[in-house]
Chain A
Amino acid sequence: MSNTTKSPEEAFAEGMAGTVVPDVSSKQDKTRSLAQDALRDLIRRPMFIVSGILIVAILIIASFPTLFTSVDPLACDLKHSMEGPSGSAWFGYNFQGCDVYSQTIYGTRNSIIVGVLTTIFSLIIGGLVGVLGGFFGKWTDALLSFVTNVFFGLPLLLAAIVILNNFRDEKGMRNAGVMAVVLTLSVVGWMSMARVMRGAVMQVKQADYVAAARSLGASTSRMMFRHVLPNSITPLIVVATISLGAVIGAEATLSFLGIGIRPPAISWGVMISEAQGRISQGLHPLLFPSGMLTITVLAFIMLGDAVRDAFDPKLR
């Protein structure tokens, strides 16, 4: 990166870094930290409430699909092929005669697992790279920034395709399991988190309380993990929430290209990919998984937006 210009991520991180002031106030006086302020603010936002309810509902569906359907998603009967929605099958049947509603419910788990785990992994990789680079500066930063830039140069989708192309089953067909998809998307998706974290850490590092900790003789690791990290993590959390939605979409795209999760495993991407060739015969096998996918992505993006607004001091 050049010294003269800031990437949008860094500018964004600088705007938000250090907004969570360490809570030094005792319980008696009524001063609240910005984090508490933001939380109070959040629970009053309709966008936060709506997206929160949606996400909780989706998580319940993902954890306990049997609560919502008793139909086996893989029990398909060709005589029902492409039948429209009805009382017995709310979302109708797909080309293979499988119950679309049941598949949509069971497909939730894989999509959510990929979204959540990928985000956690890239949060760890990106956060670590960003903290180390931002905190130590000098050659550590130069090296880590270089690595970040190299990975940034790889187009995400292409890199993911090239990596996942290596996962084959016994017959030599492309068949990446859920974990392969998670690891691949994490490896190619951590860079913007690293940049956000680096920008935030570089700013927080200069704060007075860090200097105070240093002069009190705090060790490097204590300064890094007790002082700098908690105060610079907010922008990272916000970016992570928003990117969670994007990851779920990316998983679907990979399945659509025939490279990510493959049947008989079910995910929304797999369902959409199977349905898309037969739109002219019936829209419902495409419509319902796409709808669920859209709602889920939307919920996470809205949550991220709401959290960002609540923590952004400029908007107060």
Chain B
Amino acid sequence: MARAVTTRRKVITTAAAWAIGLLIFFPIYWTILTSFKTEAQAINDPPLFFAFNWTLENYAIVQERSDYMRFLWNSVILAGGSTVLGILVAVPAAWSMAFVPSKRTKDILLWMLSTKMLPAVGVLYPISLLFVQFNLLDTRIGLVMVLMLINLPIIVWMLYTYFKEIPGEILEAARMDGATLKEEILYILTPMAVPGIASTILLNFILAWNEAFWTLNLTAAQSAPLTAFIASYSSPEGLFFAKLSAASTMAIAPILILGWFSQKQLVRGLTFGAVK
């Protein structure tokens, strides 16, 4: 029986959703606002909301001081490369776990997830030494590998969840029609799981874009992405809040725009299989 939704309830729910949405968005809004202030206005108490002389000075300084495009390009390569590589590895892995499970599949899934529970700094030295040994320090390929590996458990888990929703009988029918394993995954499974794969790609792209431990510790001048660009404007001795906000706004703008345009796919993918 459908539940009657009263207008009052609708208003309350909408207001609550807006309030939570604005609360979550506020730090981003404040960062963007601060980027248009002078350093003195940025620390003003009481805080200035609109009544200040808007300036583009911080953006000009940041542009002059840093090669933004190089950082941006590195971010695109690292986030894109690690996500594509991760999907290539995770699709067959998730397929086998979803459709050919063994007695230990659940344990393997949990074990994979458990690697996410280790604080990154705990393996800083082993990873650094490996990078030194294989000449991977400050290279994009090294970072693509690391970012792919740290996000792989999430990619496998997400794809596994989506694949579980697809009836095994369809794949079975394809096999009976003579489809090879490659054809089964490429032409039957993948098209059916497109919403799930799309949201996995988006989420992992965002995670890789925002990753700020390995991208700071394994890079120097050549492969540093936007996280290093932001870190270069933070300081415990000197007020750089306005410039830091301008740098942050420039760093999050691409991913914010991407998220905005793909929010439908993201929500659809994340809620895929949540309601039966």
Are A and B genuine complex partners?
A: no
A residues sitting closer than 8 Å to B (CB atoms) are none
